Amino acid sequence: MTRLIVQNVHRLSSRPWTFLTGRLEGDALRIGDELTFSDGPAASVVVRSVELHGGPGMTTVAVEGAFAGEIRAGAVLTRG
């Protein structure tokens, strides 16, 4: 199982996605991966971009989905 523990959430008006930065446990994430989270009702988002300029030990992904705007720092997203 792969987990992303979210530490920062960013939204840019020039891009349609929500950017999540956090610590990744498990395998690398890929564009098209579906991640689920339950910070309330269980929901899912899809990875649209994997950013390569993050700090050591950090991963930043851009996600979209009906509930992407509901993700907050501290959320845990899982794949598999």
Give the CATH number of the domain where residue 62 resides.
2.40.30.10
Strand partners, 25: 3
pLDDT of residue 32: 98
For the chain (80 residues), the mean pLDDT of every run of 10, in chain order, is 95 91 94 87 90 85 93 93
Structural domain tally of the chain?
1
pLDDT of amino acid 39: 63
User: How many Cα atoms are found within 13 Å in the side-chain-facing hemisphere of 58?
Assistant: 14
Which range marks the domain in which residue 58 is found?
2-79
